[in-house]
Each structure stands twice: as C-alpha cells, then as structure tokens.
Structure 1
C-alpha cells in the first residue's frame, strides 16, 4: 500500500506573489513618509508646505492601512508573517505623529 500523496506546497510561490503588493504599498508609504518628514515650511505663511505635509501623511497612512488590510486576510496571514506588515505599520504611526505634532 502506498500512502496518499501530499498536495504540492504552494506557500513559497504564494509568498512571492503576495510579497509584491505588500512591498509596493510599504515603499509607497515610505516615500510619502519621507516627504512628510523632510518638508519644512519657511514660516507661518507657508500654507502650501503645511498642506503638503498633511497630504503626505494622509497618503502614508492610506498606503500603510491598505498593506495592513491586505495582511489581515486569513489566507495572507497564514503565509506572510508579522515581519511583512510591521514596517508599514511603523510608517503609518510615524506619519500620524508628524501630522499630529507638525501641523
């Protein structure tokens, strides 16, 4: 008698496929967080700079939220560990602090 064959383990391929959107969303969040942190108003009259900071923070939080939302699906969590979503979460927290403290 032979034992029933095990189905092929596709976790490696699935991890690679799911890494693409998570990585892209994290890179987008990193870019906008960097923009929010490096933008400096030239004075109290620099309304455009303040608007740019807020907009960059909103985009950072949005991209981090999208990455987290994707990771929250049970099928994604089963394959991808915490290490894939923590950088996006940290970027979202930094952007939230910049938005709250810097504007």
Structure 2
C-alpha cells in the first residue's frame, strides 16, 4: 500500500493556526478581563452611579473584544483552520457580558 498524497494546504495549517490563534486568544483574554471586572464590581450603595457606569463600561468593552474575536473567527479562511471550539470561550464571555449589561439596575 502506498501512502496517500497529502494535500498542499495541509502543510501550512499548523503555522496558520498559530498565527491566527495569537489575536484570537488576546481578544478573548481582553474580553475575559473586562467581563470579570463587570461581574465582580458591586455598588457601594443603591445609587452609586460611578459603579454602575464602571459596570456598563466593562460590559461594553467585553462585548467589543468578544465580538471582534467572533468576527475574526467568522472569516472563511479562519474557520477553515480553526474550528468552533476556538471561539466558544469568546461567545460565552459575550453572552455573560450582555446578560450583566441587561441586568444593571436603572
């Protein structure tokens, strides 16, 4: 039996995966930091507007960075190399940030 001939695109996938993983991981880590800040910040008293604005800013930044990670993953060339588990943490952070943002008392 002879070995099957490898596809020429398969040789570049390892390097391409590493090159695409760097921005995706950095965007996900930034989203995680802002999401953690938004979730753990507690107002000192019921009308603490500064804390509420900080929570809102953290949620906005988390949504921005997680959304960028998801948009990066939606590119066909990226999706071909990196499957859906790569974007799952960013999607989860996006969902947590949106839920936190919606549940901020007005």
TM beyond 0.5: yes
Once the 2 structures are TM-superposed, how far is the Cα of residue 44 of structure 1 from its aligned partner?
2.1
What secondary structure does 1:102 align onto? coil
What count of residue pairs does the alignment treat as equivalent? Answer: 100
Alignment gaps of 5+ in structure 1? none
**What is the root-mean-square deviation of aligned Cα atoms in Å?**
1.6
- The aligned counterpart of 1:65 is 67
- The aligned counterpart of 2:8 is 7
- The aligned counterpart of 2:28 is 26
C-alpha separation between the residues in 2 aligned to 1:88 and 1:21? Answer: 12
Once the 2 structures are TM-superposed, how far is the Cα of residue 45 of structure 1 from its aligned partner?
2.4
TM (norm. structure 1) is 0.91
Once the 2 structures are TM-superposed, how far is the Cα of residue 43 of structure 1 from its aligned partner?
1.2
Runs of 4+ displaced beyond 4 Å:
none
Q: Deviations over 1:17-44 (max 9, x none)?
A: 0000000000000000000011000112
Once the 2 structures are TM-superposed, how far is the Cα of residue 5 of structure 1 from its aligned partner?
8.6
TM (norm. structure 2) is 0.89
Write out aligned runs for 1:22-101 (5 A): 22-101=24-103
Alignment gaps of 5+ in structure 2? none
**Stretch of structure 1 that moved more, 40-49 or 29-38:** 40-49
